[in-house]
Chain A
Amino acid sequence: MDELSHEEECFSFSHANIQSFIQNKLVFVFCDFRFIRVRAFPFILSIFFQSHLIAVHTTFFFLPQKVNNLKQKIAELLNFNRKKEMEISTKIAQPKIQLFIAAAIGLFLFRMIFSAQSLFLSLINDILVLLIFYFSILNLNRLLSQKHFSAITLVKSLLFLTLVSILLYKFLDGFQSLLGIDQIEFLTTNAVFVSLVTYSFDLLIIIILSYLFLVFRLLFFLKQRKNVKTYFVALLVFLALASFATLLDKFNGWEFVKMAFTANAVILMAINSLKISWIAFLTKKEKKQLLLFSFGLIILFGISISLINSENGISKVLNNFSPSLNYFNLLLNIYGVIYFSFLFVITLFHLPTAEAFDRKATEVTSLQILSRLINQVLDFKELGDTITDLAIKVCNADAAWIILTDDETKTPLAPKNIGFITADKIQSVMFSHKNKLALSEISFANVAVCNENETKNEHFCYAASAPLKSHQKINGYLFVAKKAEVPFDDEDKNAMETFSDYASIAIENAKLLKASIEKERLERELDVAREMQGKILPQSIPKVKHLEISSVFVPAFEVGGDYYDFFELPNNKFGFIIADVSGKGISAAFIMAELRGIIESLVLTYDNPKEILVKTNAIIERTLEKKNFITAVFGVFDLTAEKLFLSRAGHSSILCVRNNEVIEILPGGVGLGLTYSEKFEIFLEEYSLQLKENDIFVLYTDGVTEAKNGNMDDFGITALKKIISDFQNESVDTIAKKIMTQVSVFSQGTPQHDDITLLLFKWKNNLEKQHG
């Protein structure tokens, strides 16, 4: 009685709003107490009482809140927003298992104490069972929600669960008959051990049931597009109502309530079973598996139903434990039978179209992969491999390869399952039908004859080719071939058409990317070349007595290889060079650098223009490629003798203004590198001229005279001569500026394609004399 008063204290301590309930309960406690036979284990039982009190206390403490939140919790449970579920599961992860255990212990002790069959006690009993069931679901859901399950895995787990539960039912039967225990007298026996074992079986069944329920829920919501939550909640509500209505079975004439709820639940089961939306996404193989599984599951659920419906065994145990749970179990199994019957039929109808669906699915995924590749691939080979791999899948072929039209050898790119020789044979058969490599549409051919002699691995019966077009231009062809003696059908053709379109975009993109990388590389190279050129050319114009000097250098985007330089020579002589290296870019810049080195060392020993150019030609042979050459003019002003010495190696003429007349000085000579024989020296003339006051000499590279306008006309030497003549009385700087202005006006809007170099000298001897 000490314990009881303690219990009373505990209860009066707890919630005020269940005060009256407690009072009622206490009456029952007193009433039922005589039924409790604490014959064998008074001590153990007293310990159980202690824990029972705590358990009941905690359970009832949480109960009102829990009941209030139950609806919300179920909603949360059903909420498929995984993130939210994860949040919830992490938030209340810890207390869940404890709650489950507490509720389980609470129920056990409740059942130890109260064995009366009153409606009220049964209700409490069933509410506790519901709580355990709920906590079990929460716990399992936490485990399940962390993974993503495919339909087949879920069905397999159902198969496993039903098998386990059937085995468990059978085992329970055996266990009972072995011990010969009358389950009605469960609590009246003194064998606490037996009651504990039976109770744990009950718990196990609850866990299995909740697991079953969860799997059903996952299956139901799998791949659902529309919001079908209402249907499931409705089913859940009716399942619960029908289950709880079993409590009314005790009263005659109230069975109709249960029957009504059950009927509703069954109708909802049928409706829900029709809402399966994941079958279409399975592959043919999976559908076949599913057919087998659902057949098995129908049988297993059937067996399970018959076991639950029988008077003995599991039914008895569960009925004794909780009639509602027993009925819920029955309903869930019925749901299983209905669901899988529908599934079986639906899958059966889906089966004939499964292959077509599979093909579409492969096509779509292949295109997805390819379209992802379109923007990523840097490696042409890798792209080719992917294309041929996917082409085989998409077109149901055995081999595939690509040829590109700009590849003159027509070597198969990325061949799959086919050798070069066979591919070449098939290609020639395909193209011999029509114009060679001008097939603008997909074409098919029977190629069985052409490779009859090949080994089995290489024997292909049919082949198809699709052009890889972009901007109306055929860039190449995609070939597929298959061994089966069935020609390609319209489906294959459509698939190939779509696929080749994507593939050609991908190839085009890869090409453009390659080109732009190449362009970038070239631009960087040109930057280096321009920098080199800038360093090679003189940084400033030397000051020479009697000589006005001006120079202009405008580099082209592609470095043109123009070079000029000035040299202070001994014996009051002043040398200069203007040269144009053939070719462009970095190679021209290198030759320039070489040329500068050669000239700089030669002017230390020689001061004769012809000699210097002849020696240069001999030395440059080692550097210059056959197809490269240099045009140059080397000149020396003898400031004492007032003479100009010139030699011209293939370069443009030297313009000289004297007596208002522009003369073209054009001594004979071939370009450096044109010949390395003695002919070079023989043809190279030496030119000399006595200087007169205000003599102007203009040297230029062909960048000036060949500057183009929009009509591809040259600026020309005549225009150049005219400017020089017009401005001959101006300073050389002014003349240079005038020339440059006119050239840029002329070639406005046209890119400068070659370096422009101008070198101007004016002889001003008398000025000095006047001043002197």
Chain B
Amino acid sequence: MAEFSTKHRENGEVNIIELNGYLDAHTAQHLEHAISDLITKNKYKVVVNFEQLKYISSAGLGVFMAFIETMRTNSGDIKLAAMQPSVYNIFDLLGFPLLYEIFPTETEAVSKFNQ
């Protein structure tokens, strides 16, 4: 079983979710819970830090797709940051960079919210 965990931090208005390990069909639920928790608390500004994420499957990608609309209609967003090249490739191939904001570092993503 691939290990996966999330950590939640707050930086002002922005909520940061740190991902760790392997995000696949089995662990995607975990991330889903983490994000839907934020929505129930009316927190729509989310930065996902990918620094410790080693692998993402299509089910993992689906999690962001599931929530992006809700965030954006509530004048928030999901911004992705600090991806390792192998993870970025997967996002890139799918065309995510055209639709999502992806930053090299977490700070850049957070500061984008604060502009």
Contacts and interface: CB of A to CB of B under 8 A. Distances in A.
A629 B61 contact: yes
Contacts of B99: 670, 674-675, 679
Contacts of B55: 712
Contacts of B96: 670, 674
B98 interface: yes
B95 A627 contact: no
Please report whether the interface of chain B is mostly helix, strand, loop or mixed according to DSSP.
helix
A669 B99 CA distance: 11
B59 A582 contact: yes
Contacts of A52: none
Nearest to B58: A582
Interface string B50-61: 000001001101
Interface in B91-105: 93-96, 98-99
A674 B66 CA distance: 10
Contact of A627 (B66, B86, B94, B98): B66
B71 interface: no
A620 to B, nearest CB: 14
B95 A670 contact: yes
Nearest to A628: B62
Contacts of B94: 629, 631, 650, 670-671, 674
Contacts of A674: 65, 94-96, 99
A631 B90 CA distance: 12
B37 interface: no
Interface string B25-69: 100000000000000000000000000000100110111011001
Nearest to B97: A670
Nearest to A585: B25
A683 interface: yes
Contact of A583 (B58, B69, B93, B95): B58
Contact of A626 (B66, B93, B95): B66
A583 B65 contact: no
Contacts of A649: 95
A584 interface: yes
A583 B98 contact: no
Contacts of B98: 668, 670, 679, 683
A258 interface: no
A687 B93 CA distance: 16
Nearest to B25: A584
A651 interface: yes
Contact of A629 (B25, B58, B69, B86): B58
A625 B65 CA distance: 10
A584 B94 CA distance: 18
A333 interface: no
A219 B95 CA distance: 90
B62 A651 contact: no
Given A582-B58, A583-B58, A627 B93 contact: no
Interface in A666-681: 668-671, 673-675, 679
A629 B58 CA distance: 8
Interface in A617-655: 625-629, 631, 649-653
Q: Which of B58, B59, B86, B96 has the most CB of A within 10 A?
A: B58
A626 B25 contact: no
A650 B25 contact: no
B78 to A, nearest CB: 13
B70 to A, nearest CB: 9
Contact of A652 (B58, B93, B95): B93
A671 B65 CA distance: 11
A166 B59 CA distance: 91
A583 B59 contact: yes
A673 B62 CA distance: 10
B65 A627 contact: yes
A626 B69 contact: yes
A583 B66 CA distance: 13
B65 A651 contact: no
Contacts of B93: 631, 650-653
Contacts of B62: 582-583, 626-629
Contacts of B69: 626
B29 to A, nearest CB: 11
A739 B61 CA distance: 28
Nearest to A669: B95
A629 B59 contact: no
A270 to B, nearest CB: 73
A653 B65 CA distance: 22
A169 B43 CA distance: 98
Given A627-B66, A629-B61, A631-B94, 11 more contacts: A584-B25, A584-B59, A625-B66, A626-B66, A627-B63, A650-B93, A652-B93, A670-B96, A674-B94, A674-B99, A714-B86
19 contacts: A580-B58, A582-B61, A583-B59, A584-B25, A625-B66, A626-B62, A626-B66, A628-B62, A628-B65, A629-B94, A631-B93, A631-B94, A649-B95, A650-B93, A651-B93, A670-B96, A674-B99, A683-B95, A683-B98
